[in-house]
Structure 1
Amino acid sequence: MLSLSALKKMVGSPDYSPAGFLLLLLLLQASTWYSAVSGFSVKGPAEPIMVLLGTDATLPCQLSPEQSAAHMHIRWYRTQLSPAVFVYQNGQEQGGEQMLEYRGRTELVRNSINKGGVALLIQHVRASDHGQYRCHFKDGQSSQEAIVELHVIGLGSAPHVHMMGPEVGGIRVLCSADGWFPKPRVQWSDMMGVNLQSLSEVQTQDEDGLFRVEASLVVMDSSLGNLTCSIQNPLSGQEKASAIFLPEPFFPRMDPWKAALAGTVPILMLLLAGISYTGWRQHQAKEREVKKKKTESHERDQMKKEKEMALEAKENLKAELERRKALYLVDWKKALLYPDWRKEKFQLANVTINQEIHQNNSDPERKENFREETEDLSLSDKRGDCNLITLNQEGFTSGKHYWEVGIEDIDEWTLGVYEKPAVKSGLSTDLQNKIFRVVEKKGCEYRALTCGSQDISLKEHLLLEKYPQKIVIFLDYEDNDISFYDMTQGTHIFSFTQANFSGSLYPYFNLKSMEHSLSEPY
C-alpha cells in the first residue's frame, strides 16, 4: 500500500512537480477505495525496524478494522510472492515455498491473531536480511498488504590507526576497520575537532556482507599533534574512534636533515610501537573492565527478572489452584479428584491402628514370624476378624468421616468398612451378620469386594498403575457412599455407592485377603 509518509517524502524530493503530486494523490485515493471494497486494510509500522546484527527482529502487521486473521492466508515476502520468507495457511506454517536462507530462523507470532495482529520473528539477523518486507493477507478473493522496512545495524571493530611512512611533504596515516553494516562513514579530525578530508578510501564486503574500510590521509602540518579516525554507522549514528599521536620529528624537514631523519625514524618507530602497544594494552584492560561490569549488570538484571517471573508464576499458580478449588467445592461429590480438598467436607475419624503388628509386617526379616503371630491372633481374637484398626467411639450411624492407613511394602491386605446391622429383639448380633465392603491386595492383584461371612456378593478387579503407599477412606453415611483414594498420587481407586446402610459402620484393616478371613473360624 502507498502510505502517507511515503507521499510526504515524494513531495519533499527535488524532482517534485504538481502533476506528479496529483497522480500520487489519485493513487492514494484509489488504494483507500480498494481497501474499503475488500473489507480490510493492512498497516505496518510507520518507521523502519532497527536491530543489531545477530539479534532477533520482530516485524509487526495489523488488520484494520480489528478482525481475526486466523483463517486467512498470510504471506511474508521480499520482492516476489514465491518463494516467500514465511507462509501461514490453514492455521499452520507452510514450509514448501520458504526461501532457504530463512528456514529454521522464522516463526509467526500469533498472540493477537484473533484481533488481526501478527508479527514475523526473524532470529539471528544477518546482513542479507536488511531491506523491505511485505506482509500479504488474503481472505477469499480479497487481499491487502503493507510494507515493513528492516534496518540491520552492524557495529564492527574499533578503527586501527597507524603510520604508513613519510610522504612528500608529510606522513601517510592509515585507518582500517571491519565488520560494519551498512557501508560506514569515515571521518578524520584533528585535536581541535576540525574535520579533515581522506586522501583515499576503499570499502569491501566479505562473504557475510559485512564491510571492511581502509582510509588514508597525508598529514603535512607537523604541529597537528593527535589525529582521530572515527567510523560511524549511517543508520544509528553510533560510532567508534581511535586516535594516534604524530611526533614532530617524524615529519620530513629540509634536505640537510634527511639523513638524520632516516637514521632516527626506525628508532622512533620502535618507540612509537612500544607506546602504541602500551596504550593498546591499557585500552584492552579498560575494555575488559567495562565488559565485565556490563556482564555483571546484565546478570543482575537477568536474575531480578527471573525472580520476578518466578514470583509471578507462583502467584498465577496459587490463583489457579484457588479457582480450581472453588469449582471443586461447588460440586465436589461428582469430582473424583483432589482428596486433600475433599477432606474439608469430612470429619477426621478417631481411630487407632495396631502399629506394632503393622510395622512388623513391613520388616522383611520378621515377616515369617509375624505370619505365625497373626495366625494365632486370628484364632484367639475375641472379635474373630483380626481387625488392626480400632474406632475410639461408637460405630458410625450418620455424618461424613475419613481416616488414612499407610500400606507401604505390604504384599497382602484388606482395607475398608464393615457394617454391623441394627440389633433387633430376639436376633443374634455375632460376626455372622457383618457385611464387609473392602478393597484388598493379594500379590499384584487388587479387588473390590462386598461380602458377608460366607459369600461374596460383589467382586470387581481393579487396575492400578502404581502401588498405593497410603490410602484414605471417605465415608458418607447419608449418601451411602464409601470411597477409596490413593493419597500419594491423588487418584480415585474405587467407590461403593449401591449400598443402603442400616446399621453401624466400623473401619476395617487386616493383613490378609478376604478369602483367608472368610475361611477362618469365628
Structure 2
Amino acid sequence: MTLKHDSNYDFLFFSVSETFTVSVKSPVSVQRGHTAILPCWLTSSQSAEDMEVHWYQRSDEYDTPVLLYKARAFDYSSQKPSYAGRASFGLKEETSGGLKAGDVSLKLEKATIEDAGKYTCVVSSSDDSDSASVMMKDDNKVNLSCQSDGWHPKPELSWSDSKTALIPANVMFSKNSAGFYSVHSWVLVSSPSEVSCSVGLFNEEPKETRMRLENSLEEAFIDLALSNKMRLFSVAHFQC
C-alpha cells in the first residue's frame, strides 16, 4: 500500500494480489476398473480457468504429471503414459460449477491397483500458488464363498471379520439322500482383511476357518478338511 499527498487530498493506492487456498477431501476409495474423483478446489470459489493446475502422483514424478492444465488448455506433452486417455477434470459434486467456480478435481477412469497412492494438486496463478494432497485407496472387492457338507441336523453358518459380524448375500441349504445337510454361503468383502466362516450345530462349538485377503490377491481356491466335513473357500474379484 502506498500513500500519495497533495494540497487537497490524501490518496491511498492498493496493490491487490489474487490469493487463494487449495482444499481437498481425503482419502478417496475406488474399486479397480471404476472411475475415481479426487476432490480439489479453491476455498475462495474464484475461477481457475486462467490458472495452472498440476496433478502428479509421486514427488519424483512432478515432471511427468497425471494431468497438466495451463493457458486454458490441457498439456499432454509430458504426461505419464499410464494416465493417457484416463485423466481429466471432474466435479467434486454435481453442483460445484467446475473450473469457473474453482473446482480442479481430478477424474481418473479405469482405476488400477498401481493408481493407489498419494496425489498432489498444485494450483498456480501469477500472484500465488498453493497445493494439497489426496490419498487414493484401492477398495478391492472380492466375492468370498464358504461351503460345508455332512451335517445333521441343519447347521448354522456365520461370517465375521476382525471387527464385526458380516451379513452374507445368501445362505443356502441342501440335503442328500442319506439325510445329511450341506450349507453354502457367500459374502462380498474388501481386501485387505481377515475373514472367517463358522459352521456348527446349535449349542455346540462351531468349526471355523479363516482367510487373510491381501491387496495382491487375484484368485484362490482353498480346500480345508475339518473332521469328516469339507469347507471350500473360493475367492474371485467382484465386478459390478
Q: TM-score, normalised by structure 1?
A: 0.28
1:144 to 130, 137, 160: 130
Aligned to 2:74: 93
Change (3 A) 1:229 1:243: farther
What are the superposed Cα offsets for residues 220-270 of structure 1, whole Å, 9 maximum, x if unpaired?
xxx965223244689xxxxxxx9967235xxxxxxxxxxxxxxxxxxxxxx
The separation in 2 between residues aligned to 1:99 and 1:181, in whole angstroms, is: 29
What are the superposed Cα offsets for residues 156-202 of structure 1, whole Å, 9 maximum, x if unpaired?
3526799xxxxxxxxxxxxxxxxx986x233556558xxxxxxxxxx
The separation in 1 between residues aligned to 2:147 and 2:130, in whole angstroms, is: 52
Aligned to 1:186: 194
The separation in 2 between residues aligned to 1:44 and 1:118, in whole angstroms, is: 10
Q: Secondary structure at the match of 1:40?
A: coil
The separation in 1 between residues aligned to 2:227 and 2:105, in whole angstroms, is: 56
- Identity rate of aligned residues, in percent? 21
User: Which residue identity does 2:28 align to in structure 1?
Assistant: I
The separation in 1 between residues aligned to 2:105 and 2:45, in whole angstroms, is: 15
Change (3 A) 1:181 1:125: farther
The separation in 2 between residues aligned to 1:58 and 1:90, in whole angstroms, is: 23
The separation in 1 between residues aligned to 2:24 and 2:79, in whole angstroms, is: 22
Structure 1: runs of 5+ lacking an equivalent = 1-36, 163-179, 193-222, 235-241, 249-271, 284-290, 296-522
1:43 to 12, 20, 23: 23
The separation in 1 between residues aligned to 2:55 and 2:190, in whole angstroms, is: 24
2:48 to 69, 73, 82: 69
Aligned to 2:227: 247
Aligned to 2:142: 156
Q: Secondary structure at the match of 1:69?
A: coil
Aligned to 1:56: 35
Rg (Cα) greater in structure: 1
Contact 1:187 1:229 in 2 (8 A): yes
The separation in 2 between residues aligned to 1:181 and 1:104, in whole angstroms, is: 28
The separation in 2 between residues aligned to 1:127 and 1:65, in whole angstroms, is: 34
User: Which residue identity does 1:86 align to in structure 2?
Assistant: L
Pairwise CA distance, 1:120: 0.9
What are the superposed Cα offsets for residues 11-64 of structure 1, whole Å, 9 maximum, x if unpaired?
xxxxxxxxxxxxxxxxxxxxxxxxxx761110111x311111110001121112
> For the aligned residues, what is the CA RMSD?
3.8
What are the superposed Cα offsets for residues 395-454 of structure 1, whole Å, 9 maximum, x if unpaired?
xxxxxxxxxxxxxxxxxxxxxxxxxxxxxxxxxxxxxxxxxxxxxxxxxxxxxxxxxxxx
The separation in 2 between residues aligned to 1:52 and 1:95, in whole angstroms, is: 26
Contact 1:226 1:243 in 2 (8 A): no
User: Which residue identity does 2:24 align to in structure 1?
Assistant: G
Q: Secondary structure at the match of 2:63?
A: coil
Contact 1:161 1:244 in 2 (8 A): no
The separation in 1 between residues aligned to 2:20 and 2:55, in whole angstroms, is: 18
The separation in 2 between residues aligned to 1:190 and 1:56, in whole angstroms, is: 35
Q: What are the residue-to-residue correspondences of 1:352-431 with 2, within 5 Å? A: none
1:107 matched to 2:88: yes
User: Which residue identity does 1:55 align to in structure 2?
Assistant: H
The separation in 2 between residues aligned to 1:159 and 1:82, in whole angstroms, is: 45
The separation in 1 between residues aligned to 2:143 and 2:70, in whole angstroms, is: 43
The separation in 1 between residues aligned to 2:147 and 2:83, in whole angstroms, is: 38
- Structure with greater proportional strand content: 2
2:65 to 84, 109, 112: 84
Change (3 A) 1:185 1:109: closer
The separation in 1 between residues aligned to 2:135 and 2:119, in whole angstroms, is: 6
Change (3 A) 1:137 1:72: same
The separation in 1 between residues aligned to 2:226 and 2:205, in whole angstroms, is: 7
Contact 2:49 2:100 in 1 (8 A): yes
The separation in 1 between residues aligned to 2:20 and 2:82, in whole angstroms, is: 31
Change (3 A) 1:189 1:159: closer
Structure 2: runs of 5+ lacking an equivalent = 1-16, 92-96, 149-188, 216-221
Contact 2:89 2:104 in 1 (8 A): yes
Aligned to 2:117: 131
User: Which residue identity does 2:129 align to in structure 1?
Assistant: S
